[in-house]
C-alpha cells in the first residue's frame, strides 16, 4: 500500500521535511503511520491529523492511496 504523508507549519520545520511516501504491507492506524514516518513513538497530543483532508483521531485506519496530514493547532482568521 502506498500512503502519502504530509507535514505542515511548525511541524514541517521541526521535522525538516514536508512529507514522505510510505509503502506498507498491512493496514495501519494513524498513530502507526506517524511512528513509521517520523521514527517517533506516540503521536504528540497537540498534533492534529487529517486523512484525505478530513479530520480524524489517531485510531483511524489508513488504506491504500490515502493522504495523511499531520499539523499543529490551526491559527487562521
Q: Applying CB under 8 A, which part among 5-13, 24-32, 37-45, 56-64 lies near other proteins? A: 5-13
Binding of residue 65 to other proteins (CB under 8 A): no
CA distance 37 to 22: 7
Binding of residue 75 to other proteins (CB under 8 A): yes
Integer CA distances (angstroms), 71 to 5, 26, 62, 68, in order: 11, 24, 17, 10
Binding of residue 39 to other proteins (CB under 8 A): no
- Residues near other proteins (CB under 8 A) are 6, 8-10, 13, 50, 53-55, 69, 71-77
Amino acid at each position: 500500500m502506498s500512503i502519502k504523508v504530509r507535514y505542515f507549519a511548525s511541524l514541517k520545520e521541526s521535522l525538516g521535511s514536508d512529507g514522505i511516501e510510505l509503502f506498507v504491507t498491512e493496514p495501519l492506524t494513524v498513530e502507526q503511520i506517524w511512528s513509521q514516518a517520523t521514527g517517533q513513538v506516540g503521536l504528540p497530543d497537540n498534533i492534529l491529523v487529517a486523512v484525505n483532508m478530513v479530520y480524524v483521531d489517531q485510531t483511524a485506519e489508513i488504506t491504500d492511496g490515502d493522504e495523511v496530514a499531520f499539523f499543529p493547532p490551526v491559527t487562521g482568521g
